């Protein structure tokens, strides 16, 4: 299953992408995270549904090293090719 999360809040320039990578690796989730021009962060994640549900809960961070997630938009994604690992994109 593949899901995209668009994360809004104070999430750029505060280490959020690297936080996301750490939890993705811990939960064995493949995909990527990248900053978007509108100040949000895009997270694309592929794993079993239970792991994705846990991952989504952990994406909500409040005031940790300046990070504050205000809201997350979640959409299901079509998976043309299987993702293998989790990367931070510029």
Q: Give me the pLDDT at residue 69, please.
A: 95
**Which pLDDT belongs to residue 90?**
84
Can you say whether residue 39 is alpha, beta or left, with left for phi > 0 and alpha for psi between -120 and 50 degrees?
left
Domain count, the chain: 1
Q: Which CATH number characterizes residue 17's domain? A: 3.30.70.100
What is the distance of C-alpha 6 from the center of its chain?
Answer: 8
Does 90 fall in a domain? no
List the catalytic residues.
17, 35
CB-based burial, 45-75: b 16+ in 10 Å, e otherwise: bbbeeebbeebeeebebeeeeebebeebeee
Q: How high is the pLDDT of residue 66?
A: 85
pLDDT in tens, the chain (90 residues): 999 999 999 999 999 999 999 999 999 999 999 999 999 999 999 999 999 999 999 999 876 678 999 999 999 998 778 899 999 998
8: in domain: yes
């Amino acid at each position: 299953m593949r899901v995209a999360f668009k994360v809004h809040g104070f999430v750029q320039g505060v280490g959020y992408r690297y936080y996301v990578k750490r939890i993705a690796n811990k939960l064995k989730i493949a995909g990527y995270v990248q900053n978007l021009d509108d100040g949000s962060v895009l997270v694309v994640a592929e794993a079993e549904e239970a792991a994705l549900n846990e991952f989504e809960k952990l994406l909500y961070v409040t005031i940790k090293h300046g990070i504050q997630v205000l809201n997350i938009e979640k959409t299901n994604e079509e998976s043309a090719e299987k993702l293998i690992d989790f990367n931070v994109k510029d």
